[in-house]
Amino acid sequence: MAAEDSPLIEARSLIASGRGQEAAAKLRGILLAQPGAGDAWLMLGQLLLSVGHAAEALEASSCATALMPQSAAAHYLQGRALKASGDPARALEAYSRAAAISPDDPAILCS
């Protein structure tokens, strides 16, 4: 495990223990120091979407997909955020990109 992964592990632990605001602050801190941390953008987007902040989640997912264009999870999150933002046509495009990257993922296929 790399030392740079430690803050992400801490953020994941905070989320798991129901401390989402602290996790969001931790993730934003990571992103201030490392704006190219795609995994942190992905985790922040998932967290934001889970608490109903679709517009912010869409912004985070856009960063994640730009940084990790081969990440099915990033495209899937973008689809979920687009759907929650009321843009089903673009959501379908994002889901299609996710399915093309990971065609056997049941979560993506059921979207």
Give 75-84 contacts, CB < 8 A, sequence gap 24+: 75/101, 76/105, 76/107, 76/108, 76/111, 77/42, 77/45, 77/46, 77/49, 78/45, 79/111, 80/49, 80/111, 81/45, 81/49, 81/54, 81/57, 82/58, 84/49, 84/52, 84/54, 84/57
Q: For the chain, list residues with pLDDT below 70.
A: 1-4, 111
- Reference 39, options 30, 51, 48; nearest CA is 30
Q: Say what the pLDDT of residue 105 is.
A: 85
Give pLDDT, residue 3: 45
How high is the pLDDT of residue 62?
97
pLDDT of residue 110: 75
CB 33 within 8 A of CB 3: no
pTM score, whole prediction: 0.91
